[in-house]
Structure 1
C-alpha cells in the first residue's frame, strides 16, 4: 500500500485499553513516514477510562504540542465526545474515506478517532493517510467552522 504525503508534521496519538493494538500499529505507520509522534498512552491492556485519554490529547493539541491527533477506543465515539469537550478542538469519528477527507477539508477537525472493534488496521492506516494528506479548504465551510468556534466561546 502506498502512503499519501502528510501535510502535518506532528501527531498526538492516544487510546484506551481496547485501542492499544491499533494505536501501536498506527504509531509504527506514522513513524515510518517520518512524522513526529507523541504517544500519550496507554501502554497496557489494563482498563482505563477513555475520557481521561481523549481529554488529555485534546488539551495538549489545543496547547500546540502537536498539529493533529488520533484517538482509538472500542467504537471511536467516546473518544470523539471526550476530545470535543475541550474548547477549540474538533474531533470526528472516522470509518470511511470520504469522512476522513471531509473531517479536515470541510470541518477543520484537528482530531480523528477510530473504533478498534469496528475497523481493521489496514483500513485505519488508509484513513489516517487520507486525513493527514488533506487540509482545511475554507471557502463555504469557513463561516460554518467560525460558528463552531463561537460555540466554544
Structure 2
C-alpha cells in the first residue's frame, strides 16, 4: 500500500482533513505530520517534516498545504531528494509526475477549493513517471542538488540508452 505523508500550516488546516479522507477513500495509507490547530504557525516546519518523511523512504509520497502552496513547497524542496510541485490545476499535477517524477504535491487552501484539490490529487496520483529523456532531466536535477558539476556534465552529454524514450 502506498504511504502518503501529509502536512499543512494553520491556513491549510481546514482543507487537510478533506484531502486525508479522500486519500483513505482511494485506498492510501496516510500519516498527518501537523499542524493540528488553527493557531498561527510557520509553514517551513511542516514542509520540512513531510519532505524528510518522503526523502527517508518511510513514505512514498507527500502532500503539503499552506495558503498558496508556494511557501510550504519551497520548504519541502530544501530537503535533499525532494521534488515538490505547486499545482492549482490537474494538468500540471499530472505532467509533474510524468516528466519530473515529483514526490511531493503542494497546493494552496486560499487558491483551490476542496473539489478542485481532490481533482489535482487524483491526477497527480494516477500519473506515472515516463523515464527516458525525462530521467536525464531528473538525474541532472540530482546532480545540481549534490553540487556535482562533473556529474551534471556527464549526464548532460551522455548517449546512454538509459535516457532513450521507450
With normalisation by structure 1, the TM-score equals: 0.93
1:127 corresponds in structure 2 to 120
Alpha-carbon distance between aligned partners in 2 of 1:115 and 1:94, rounded to the nearest angstrom:
8
Which residue pairs with 1:3 in the alignment? none
Q: How many residues align structurally? A: 146
Correspondence 1:1-16 to 2 at 5 A: 9-16=2-9
Contact 2:8 2:43 in 1 (8 A): yes
- The structural deviation recorded for 1:58 is 0.3
Alignment match, 2:158: none
The aligned counterpart of 1:65 is 58
Deviating above 4 A after TM superposition, structure 1's stretches of 4 or more consecutive aligned residues are none
For CA contacts below 8 A with separation 6 or more, give which structure has more relative contact order: 1
Q: Which runs of 5+ in 1 are unaligned?
A: 1-7
- Greater Cα radius of gyration, structure 1 or 2: 2
SS in 2 for 1:12: strand
Cα offset for 1:39? 0.6
Q: CA deviation digits over 1:73-100, x for unaligned, max 9?
A: 0000001110110111110001112111
1:80 matched to 2:98? The reply is no
**Equivalent residues of 2:90, 2:121 under 8 A apart:** no
Structure 2: 5+ residue runs without aligned partners?
Answer: 147-166
Could you say what secondary structure the match of 2:72 adopts? Answer: helix
Q: Alignment RMSD, CA only?
A: 0.9
Residue 140 of structure 1 deviates from its aligned partner by 1.5
